[in-house]
Structure 1
Amino acid sequence: MISQLSWKVGGQQGEGIESTGEVFSIALNRLGYYLYGYRHFSSRIKGGHTNNKIRVSTSEVRSISDDLDILVAFDQETIDVNFHELRNGGIVLADSKFNPTIPENVNVTLYPVPFTEIATELGTSLMKNMVAIGATSAILNINPNGYHEVVQDTYGRKGEKIVEKNMEAIKKGVEYLKDVFGFDRTDMYLEKADGQKRMFMIGNDAIALGAIAAGSRFMAAYPITPASEIMEYLIKKLPKFGGVVIQTEDEIAACTMAIGANYAGARTFTASAGPGLSLMMEAIGLSGITEQPLVIVDTQRGGPSTGLPTKQEQSDLMAMIYGTHGEIPKVVMAPSTVQEAFYDMIEAFNIAEEYQVPVILLTDLQLSLGKQTVEPLDYHKINIRRGKLLNDDLPELENKAYFKRYEVTEDGVSPRVLPGTKNGIHHVTGVEHDETGKPSEVALNRIEQMDKRLRKLANINFNTPVHKRIYHDHPDILFVGFISTRGTIEEAMERLENDGIAVNHAHIRLIHPFPTEELLPLVEAAKKVIVVENNATGQLANLLKMNISYANKIASLLKYDGNPFLPHEIYTRSKELI
């Protein structure tokens, strides 16, 4: 029996590959298994190779596996593209409709199963994915009845007959593998899970849920991969809490609408990807100079321009810190797990209001769209902080004076009132202004207002700016990464430790302002610092050099082909670097 499995289904986009992975993985999640999934999909609406690789385990997993145990293929291209991942003794389940072939003299077994034919006999070829799930279940020794609840949830709205037909397709897949091939390889049986109930979600769902928990009741956004699921989730859920989502005409409108709604007192945000953030830069500057809270989610993808819109990359980092014109205080956060995405989204709203600054929550395609098991969220941890938002009891101002909305304060944060508050009248403008908001080009006032705004960053309070796994006082390697590379780095660390190489790990969650004090002693203690990131120019490594120095011991481990890191890549390449 095995305690861990790597399974992949592939075919042409639009023929049910995603639903195959969904039904399979949700059912196993409900049985108590831990899962980590990653979808490779084309930027076309229909057509082009797509696959869904899912890792199943009886213990927690946070990365894609190096190899593959079972490949389910709906066309020959799936075999040709993915066969190299199969381990010795692996299995290919392929639709016999296309006469599948595999390379000769390899220790991999091909089982041609008439997925399409069996499904057609049951009423429609669309159910071929259910037949494939059934064949997989025979290999893993999973009772097909374990899928009934998921099939009911997925297809129940179409009627009970459809549910019964899909369940019959799963059982036919089981029967075919056992009756025709006599499958009885107990070495492929999957160990029983603990049966515990856990969530199973993508990072975008966690971000959207975090926004609701933070009290956000309005989102303005324009659709873009890989951010659209945030908007789609909230379109369904936010009205239940008295909220609304508006699909704007473009990202500029989305960002300025969010600023206006925040000015009115609502907790509002927008979400996009790199091209959309480029359009928002002027508006982010408006948020900075008017000191209006603003939360933006940037789900990174392959660039530049349209680039690789459905592929993994982490190349927006410098743009998110330095992209705006002029100089404004800004916070950039980078959650590394689905759980952190939920909690950090709440914290993003708190920081935006406490310090009256734009806050960018930086994710990447792997975290945003990769689906994984999540332990139950602790809603008792939620704490709403609105900073210096004053109530209606404002003192009456003498001589018809205006409220000092931009008052120069020691901590850089001015008192804030909502429009219409009695005795709170003030100007709001995108040009430089005095303490009441009145436009001013006086040199001394400019210096006072700039210094006041920039003082905010010295007081940012973020509970865990760096996630640390420190095992050694003077390690051979200190790995540094951000966002979705965390689990892959941790798996590579275990292999290096087994080789006698001492390894520590620092994963940065607060990108700007940079957590220099937290990282400096870790960098000083290490013989070699290896920065793992999905871009071509080593942006995170350059930030490390700018803020901490020690450039002579910092090395970059880069990948920018559109695919996420695999554990063996970090393991092998880091050994070469030391």
Structure 2
Amino acid sequence: MTRELSWKIGGQQGEGLESTDRIFSTALNRLGYYLYGYRHFSSRIKGGHTNNKIRISTSPIRSISDDLDILVAFDQETIDLNAAELREGGIIIADAKFEPKVSDGADARLIAVPFTAIAEQLGTSLMKNMVATGASVALLGLPVDVVKQVVEEEFGRKGSAVVVKNVEAVDQGYQFVLNEVGGPLAHFQLDAGDGHQRLFMIGNDAIGLGAIAAGCRFMPAYPITPASEIMEYLIKHLPKFGGTVIQTEDEIAAVTMAIGANYGGVRAMTASAGPGLSLMTEAIGLAGMTETPVVIVDTQRGGPSTGLPTKQEQSDLNAMVYGTHGEIPKIVIAPSTVEECFYDTIEAFNLAEKYQCPVILMTDLQLSLGKQTAENLDYEQIRIERGKWVREPEPLEPGELFARYQFTEDGISPRVAPGTQHGIHHVTGVEHDQEGRPSESPANRKAMMEKRFKKLENLQVTNPIKVDAPHEKPDVLFIGMGSTGGTIDEARTRLERMSVTTNHATIRLVHPFPAEELKAYAEQAKIIAVVENNYTGQLAAQVRLHTMQAEKIHSILKYDGNPFLPSEIFNKTKELCERGDI
């Protein structure tokens, strides 16, 4: 029996790998296992190698694993590309149709299963994915009835005949493997899950749910990987709450429509990736100048240009922080778990309205699309804060305008919905006075710039950094953002076994940077290791700039399109130890 293992399925895009993964992982989730998934997929609609990897555990996990226990292969390319991940004694379950082969020297057992032949006997080769699901369940010694229940739910809308055939495909794959190996293999049998029902979702779905909970009722967006699932989630669910999603002609239209809706008093957001964020830059400046709240999600991917649209990267940080022409106040926050994607989306809307500025929610492809276990959400935590929203302005004298951009002690002015009695004012993208009338007065310009930036002087964000600091003076302070958190923690566990003491700070408020909160931890550490998926060390540059600890900072970088493995962070840090930096 084992408490943890990793399973991967690979083949050509469009062969049904997603449904295999979905049914298999849903069954595991219902049995009370913790799961963490990673999708490696091509940027083509159909064709090209793709694989889905799931880590399964009886305890919480937040990282993909270094190695692999079971590989399910629909073609020889899957074996050739992924067999090296298999640990000693691993198993390959492959479709007998392509006469699978394992290279010499590979220490893995190959089980050829007639996925396609069984499926064709049942009526269609498309059901080979269900045969593979049954074969996987047999190896793990899982109750097949739970899988059958998920299959019934998955295919129920297609009619009972389809359900019966797919259940039979699962059964035949299950029985074939049991007969082939003589029953479940002890070292692949999972300890029982705890049976607790938990959420199992991707970060994008959590963002969509968070937007609904925050009161968002309009989303204009242009589809782009890896942000499209946010739009698709809201297309499905937002109308139930009186909301609307519009697919716009481009990202420029999307962000300007979102700004317009927010100006009208409707909470609205848009979501994109790096290329879309670039197109939104001018409009983000408009939101800053007019002090109009807007929430923008940037799900980072490999760039520049089209780059690697379906691969992991964290290289938009500089664009989010510095990308606007001129100077405006804005807020960039970065969730690091699925749960934080939900709560931070709600906070993003509150921050946008409280401080009347653009708020960018920064995720990355792995966090956006990697499906993982999440604890049940606490809806009692939800608070809606609309800031200085004035519903009934004081009466105006004849010819007087509402002071929409009034100079105030905290820099935040009263805000009113257009058309409200006694709320008439000008709105323009040029510099303006307190009533919104265009003004080029140097004195007014100086006062307005100071007013706008004053808004963030007392910025309050929940947990600007998330810190795990068991040591007063650690050998290493790890700093990361987004999806790297769980991987860093796993590397830390291995380092602690070597008597290397470590603390970990996850940056959640990227801009304005939480310098004061981070400084104390940075000063205590012997070295600082900044972990990020980009080439130039953009987060490390922020840490260097704001903590004045340049001589301590070392970058651990990865920019090949894949997320970090725990062993990569462990090995890089071990090198620092051996070099004498610690």
Map 1:309-348; keep pairs closer than 5 Å: 309-348=309-348
Matched, 1:379 2:379: yes
Counterpart CA distance in 2 for 1:537 and 1:106 is 37
Query: What is the deviation of 1:400?
Result: 1.6
Q: Deviations over 1:240-278 (max 9, x none)?
A: 001110000000000000000000000000000000000
Corresponding residue for 1:57? 57
Which ranges in structure 1 are unaligned for 5 or more consecutive residues?
none
Query: What is the deviation of 1:185?
Result: 2.0
Counterpart CA distance in 2 for 1:184 and 1:25 is 19
Corresponding residue for 2:484? 485
Query: What is the deviation of 1:182?
Result: 2.3
Corresponding residue for 1:401? 400
Give the secondary structure class of the aligned counterpart of 2:456.
helix
Query: What is the deviation of 1:362?
Result: 0.1
Map 1:239-318; keep pairs closer than 5 Å: 239-318=239-318
Give the secondary structure class of the aligned counterpart of 2:59.
coil
Map 1:90-169; keep pairs closer than 5 Å: 90-169=90-169
Query: What is the deviation of 1:83?
Result: 0.7
Counterpart CA distance in 2 for 1:443 and 1:201 is 52
User: Do the aligned partners of 2:270 and 2:295 also contact (CA within 8 Å) in 1?
Assistant: yes
Q: Deviations over 1:25-51 (max 9, x none)?
A: 011101111100010000000100000
Give the secondary structure class of the aligned counterpart of 1:507.
strand
Query: What is the deviation of 1:552?
Result: 0.4
Query: What is the deviation of 1:548?
Result: 1.1
Q: Deviations over 1:177-232 (max 9, x none)?
A: 12234244211111110100011100000000000000001100000000000000
Counterpart CA distance in 2 for 1:107 and 1:184 is 20
Matched, 1:472 2:471: yes
Counterpart CA distance in 2 for 1:395 and 1:339 is 42
Counterpart CA distance in 1 for 2:546 and 2:490 is 28
Matched, 1:420 2:416: no
**Residue type matched to 1:562 in 2?**
G
Corresponding residue for 2:214? 214
**Residue type matched to 1:444 in 2?**
A
Q: Deviations over 1:63-114 (max 9, x none)?
A: 0000000000000000000011000010000001001000223321000000
**Residue type matched to 2:478 in 1?**
F
**Residue type matched to 2:61 in 1?**
V
Matched, 1:20 2:23: no
Counterpart CA distance in 2 for 1:373 and 1:105 is 36
Counterpart CA distance in 2 for 1:543 and 1:178 is 55
Query: What is the deviation of 1:137?
Result: 1.1
Q: CA RMSD in A?
A: 0.8
Counterpart CA distance in 2 for 1:106 and 1:520 is 48
Give the secondary structure class of the aligned counterpart of 2:87.
strand
Query: What is the deviation of 1:152?
Result: 1.7
Corresponding residue for 2:434? 435
Counterpart CA distance in 2 for 1:142 and 1:167 is 15
Corresponding residue for 2:580? none
**Residue type matched to 1:427 in 2?**
H
Give the secondary structure class of the aligned counterpart of 2:406.
coil
Corresponding residue for 1:534? 533
Matched, 1:494 2:493: yes
User: Do the aligned partners of 2:141 and 2:184 also contact (CA within 8 Å) in 1?
Assistant: no
Counterpart CA distance in 1 for 2:390 and 2:176 is 70
Q: Deviations over 1:146-181 (max 9, x none)?
A: 112211221110001111111111110111112234
Map 1:16-95; keep pairs closer than 5 Å: 16-95=16-95
Counterpart CA distance in 2 for 1:122 and 1:25 is 24
**Residue type matched to 2:337 in 1?**
T
Q: Deviations over 1:293-345 (max 9, x none)?
A: 00000000000000000000000001000000000000000000000000000
Query: What is the deviation of 1:575?
Result: 1.1
Counterpart CA distance in 1 for 2:569 and 2:277 is 30
Distance 1:244 1:470, change over 3 A: same
Counterpart CA distance in 2 for 1:44 and 1:188 is 34
Counterpart CA distance in 1 for 2:394 and 2:175 is 79
Corresponding residue for 1:179? 179
Map 1:449-460; keep pairs closer than 5 Å: 449-460=448-459
User: Do the aligned partners of 2:515 and 2:546 also contact (CA within 8 Å) in 1?
Assistant: yes
Give the secondary structure class of the aligned counterpart of 2:310.
coil
Matched, 1:353 2:353: yes
Corresponding residue for 1:368? 368
Counterpart CA distance in 1 for 2:180 and 2:26 is 28
User: Do the aligned partners of 2:200 and 2:371 also contact (CA within 8 Å) in 1?
Assistant: yes
Counterpart CA distance in 2 for 1:75 and 1:181 is 22
TM-score (norm: length of structure 2): 0.98
Q: Deviations over 1:383-442 (max 9, x none)?
A: 0000000012x2222232111100111111011011011111100000000000000000
Counterpart CA distance in 2 for 1:246 and 1:541 is 38
Q: Which moved more, 1:435-444 or 1:151-160?
A: 151-160
Aligned residues: 577
**Residue type matched to 2:557 in 1?**
L
Give the secondary structure class of the aligned counterpart of 2:455.
helix
Give the secondary structure class of the aligned counterpart of 1:403.
coil
Query: What is the deviation of 1:463?
Result: 1.8
Corresponding residue for 1:565? 564
Identity of aligned residues (%): 65
Map 1:511-522; keep pairs closer than 5 Å: 511-522=510-521
Counterpart CA distance in 2 for 1:495 and 1:123 is 50
**Residue type matched to 1:32 in 2?**
G
Give the secondary structure class of the aligned counterpart of 1:91.
strand
Counterpart CA distance in 1 for 2:217 and 2:521 is 41
Q: Which moved more, 1:263-272 or 1:148-157?
A: 148-157
Give the secondary structure class of the aligned counterpart of 1:296.
strand
Which ranges in structure 2 are unaligned for 5 or more consecutive residues?
578-582
Give the secondary structure class of the aligned counterpart of 1:232.
helix
Give the secondary structure class of the aligned counterpart of 2:52.
strand
Give the secondary structure class of the aligned counterpart of 1:6.
strand
**Residue type matched to 2:310 in 1?**
T
Query: What is the deviation of 1:550?
Result: 1.0
Matched, 1:4 2:4: yes
Counterpart CA distance in 1 for 2:113 and 2:276 is 45
Query: What is the deviation of 1:549?
Result: 1.3
Counterpart CA distance in 2 for 1:94 and 1:269 is 45
Counterpart CA distance in 2 for 1:143 and 1:553 is 52
Counterpart CA distance in 2 for 1:161 and 1:142 is 25
User: Do the aligned partners of 2:251 and 2:279 also contact (CA within 8 Å) in 1?
Assistant: yes
Counterpart CA distance in 2 for 1:178 and 1:512 is 55
**Residue type matched to 1:561 in 2?**
D
Counterpart CA distance in 1 for 2:153 and 2:136 is 21
Give the secondary structure class of the aligned counterpart of 1:39.
strand
Counterpart CA distance in 1 for 2:226 and 2:451 is 36
